Chain A
Amino acid sequence: MKFKDNYYRLVGVRNEGAHSLFSIALLPDCELYRGHFPGDPVCPGVCSIELIRQCAECLEREPLFIHRIKQCRFTVLLSPVTCRELTVDLFLSPFGEEESVIVSARICDEQNVYVEFKSEMLKKGRTISG
């Protein structure tokens, strides 16, 4: 399944210091909610991870492979019914060799922080070491 324009829509991007803030609209008609869960739509946590990866790819302008996730906390349940608009607050920093990047992110709106995320991603097509 293609996530962009099916699970979410990118509304805009702006920078604040070293952070990039992505405005995201969740799309409640996405077919995934038929099964997650029937009659009770809840955003799958892993879809938030995919969303963060796609925002990071947008900044890096190349595909990224999620090599490690140090920690990803889902602090508040997210539903497309109660939450239509989100901010993905992204901070990237180079790591070790230049083929690797540390991606730190938070997904939030005015009320809640839903996800706190830290991982190492590799630029694809480069070799994976360790």
Chain B
Amino acid sequence: MQDQMTPVERGTAIAQGLEADRLPCNPNIANGVARVYGCKISEFNHNPKAVAEAQVATYRKFGCDGLRIFTDLFVWAEAMGSQAALPDDDTADLAVPAISSVEEISRLQPANPYKDGRLPVLIEAMKYLAEMAGGEVGCSAGVAGAFTNAFFLFGVNETLRLIHKNPEAVHELSRVSLETCKAYVKAALDLDIGFGVTISEPMSSCTVVSPAVFRKFSLPYLKELVDFIKGFGVKPVIHICGQTDKIWNDVADLGIAGMSIDNVASLKDCCKTIGHKTKIMGNVDPGGVMYSGNPQDIRRKTLECIRDAYDSPQGYVVMSGCSLPVDTPFENIQTMMDTVRDVGYPVSLEKVEELLSQYAD
């Protein structure tokens, strides 16, 4: 089935309560776009045009609603002095944190997005992407939250310990991280090319730290970043991996464009809890279903998500619970999109149930 509208037309129509062809759907293909485009993932480390063209190629292939300039969580820490491991054809990882002692924190400087590490590549890629697809599909700049970035400056385990051993040091790390986040987001929004912002804050997850720790060490910086972005007239989307149920209200109350949740969290409960405050996005299991499942699994899980969230008051976007594994079969991604197309819009619960019964276990 062909889409009848572009993602921008669809988003606008749904927001205005008008007719649309289907729900928005963003499989969250991440660096798997290299597989679609036909380049190695390491190409994205230095070639801004490839970053953008790979996004566009993926959009042309699947018609996904939403493209994002984002390669990995480590680019901001790297731009502040951490070392990233950059595999030839896989997603980057943290190799060596920028510092190894609390005394060194004061030496850290906010990154310059036009100069440091791979940040200029990403900023440049945003310009290309806007030229190629800007009017047709919503594009965003991905950024890691300040708290998460702090872990990549000081090392994950060491920063976890620091939360109890030296709380003020964690604040210091988050503060300097926040300056980098702001500078990067400013560079993206100063381009004035209609980009949104997506903040990833995986370390804020209730799977990692307690809600109390989140509220003390992460939330204040997240709020400052969200407010800063709002100063440009843009509301960010926030994605937090793992369980997030106990902090949903904290995040939604920041006044954001959407909350994207992991598959370990309950989509139904999330819609019930904060669906009246913000758009909910999620949460087909990226590993267990999208990567290792068969098309029938994809259909069933996608339909279950639609059933649980289609009537969320502030809107719903079908999405994976996190970035897809780079080698997720194209067939599975296509099946997710096609399932959403089959359901159509407005969503009829009866039809969803009927389709579901066809794919019951």
Does B bind A? Answer: no
Interface, chain A (partner B; CB < 8 A):
none
